[in-house]
Amino acid sequence: MDRAAGIVWRYQNQNNYYIVRANALENNVVLYRVENGVRLSIAPKGLPSRAYGVKHEIPSGHWNTLRVEFTEGSFVVFLNTERLFEAEDRTFANPGKVGLWTKADSLTYFDEFTVTEK
């Protein structure tokens, strides 16, 4: 089974949105832009533009907290209160829906999903 879950925001439709996901099999956290149905990773600031998220242990079988803060085209990603990375992208500037995401056959539980506007 896969072991990935994430948060979606600025969801315009099934083909256009942002997502950050944590994957316990790959031990990484990656931010993506899905534009016209094509998913592209967004490199963290300070890393080469071809960088694929950040390596980080994702404890499987335990509760983890994934969080993203975003303002305009700036994103900050946290895992279990640790600030992992920042990234920038201005593709989707309009507000949209927020939600949860899982990959393939991941067995994922969610609890206390909140959205806070600053």
Task: Count the alpha carbons within 13 Å of 10 in the hemisphere toward its beta carbon.
Answer: 24
pLDDT band at 2 (very low <50, low <70, confident <90, very high): confident
Report the CATH fold assignment for 4-102.
Jelly Rolls (2.60.120)
pLDDT digits over 26-54, tens only?
999 999 999 999 999 999 999 888 889 99
Q: Which residues pair with 41 in a beta bridge?
A: 32
Using one digit for the tens of pLDDT, what is the confidence trace for 62-86? 999 999 999 999 999 999 999 999 9
Cα 62 to the chain's mean position, in Å? 19
What is the residue extent of each domain of the chain?
Answer: 4-102
The span from the CA of 75 to the CA of 102, in Å, is 20
pLDDT exceeds 90 at position 87: yes
What are the structure tokens assigned to 27, written together? Answer: 């031990």
Q: How far apart are CA 61 and CA 102, in angstroms?
A: 15
Q: What is the mean pLDDT of the chain?
A: 94
CA-derived radius of gyration, the chain: 13
Determine the Cα–Cα distance for residues 43 and 34; give it in Å rounded to an integer.
14
